[in-house]
Amino acid sequence: MPEGHSVHRIARQFERHFVGETVAASSPQGRFAEGAALIDGRTMTQSRAVGKQLFLEFDEALYLRVHLGIYGAWDFGGAVSRDATTRASRGRMGQTGMRGAADDTVVGEHEDSLASIGAPRRTRLRMAEQETETETFEGFPPEPVGQVRARLLTETAVADLRGPTACEVIDAAQVQQVINQLGPDPLVDDPDEGEERMVERVRKRRTPIGLLLMDQSVVSGIGNVYRAEILFRARLDPHIPGSQLSDETVRDLWRDWRYLLGVGVDTGQMLTMDDLDEEARARALRSRADRHWVYKREGLPCRVCGTHIVLEMAAARKLYYCPTCQR
């Protein structure tokens, strides 16, 4: 499932290429036909992410809410930009299993346009969790491919949505209802206020911190990868109840999440190892195997103490940790 940095990157793609534009909305699949009719022909006025939720605002205060879930994906085409990471991964952005950036790219800089491949050829890029190849096609817009739930089209760009958990048109009051149920997001909330909210929501719960970090009502945007890595960076046992943690420990978790989320949005990769030299950083950007402390490293020696990393199931999700460093 996409984690917070992926959804923020998708929101930025809409901000760059759709906000301020009149949008033709349709549902090639048919399942979103009524919702598409409500926003068809309207101007997109804002794009923002809160945790794993995407809100696209249209004039007259209508919003398209999208939660990708496990299977959802956005495909962008036309005159849309991509950074070094999306070039290197051939269009896949912010994915758990994505390819890394190539050695000759500068991550987060020097954006170019997918339309520069040569009009009228365009390139379609996918922003989701599942591995997908970039493809070229003739003419614009391209014909919908597969089960497209919603298509958003301007004169120069197109976005196709497939397989989301949630895709609905709602009003401002309903948007606020959704947001009220979410924990703080470091890129949305005031940092100090968000920190206090997270401290309050963690400290009053006897639930293990390894589960609380995945609870979107406690803190927004953290998924399996960031959960494992944040806990290791804090040297915290994932089984410790939130009520047993000190205020300062929870504050440190918030601040680290704020830092890592920023890195993920900027680079497009969940880079969780700090203080890497130039060669090690290049390897980390290139390969997930060199990028994380514990995630997907079950049975391998801990990078710090040599103890084998443990994998166990926690609330039906895989939990990775070092039983020695995280006591």
Residues that are catalytic: 2-3, 52, 317
Residues 148-165 as b/e (b if ≥16 CB within 10 A, e otherwise) read bbbbbbbebbbbbbbbbe
**Measured on CA atoms in the order 67, 298, 296, 3, is the torsion positive or negative?**
positive
- Helix residue spans in the chain (DSSP H): 4-17, 33-39, 84-88, 172-180, 191-203, 209-212, 224-233, 247-267, 278-286
275: left (phi over 0), alpha (psi -120 to 50) or beta: left
Burial class (CB in 10 A: 0-12, 13-18, 19+), 22: middle
From the list 188, 173, 180, the residue with the least C-alpha distance to 221 is 188
Question: Under a CB-based contact definition with an 8 Å cutoff, are residues 167 and 149 in contact?
Answer: yes
Residues 220-257 as b/e (b if ≥16 CB within 10 A, e otherwise) read bbbbbbbbbbbbbbbebbbebebeebeeebbbbbbebb
End-to-end CA distance of the chain: 28
DSSP string, 190-218: -HHHHHHHHHHHHHT--SBHHHHTT-TTT
Sequence-distant (6+) residues with CB within 8 A of 192 are: none
Question: Under a CB-based contact definition with an 8 Å cutoff, are residues 48 and 188 in contact?
Answer: yes
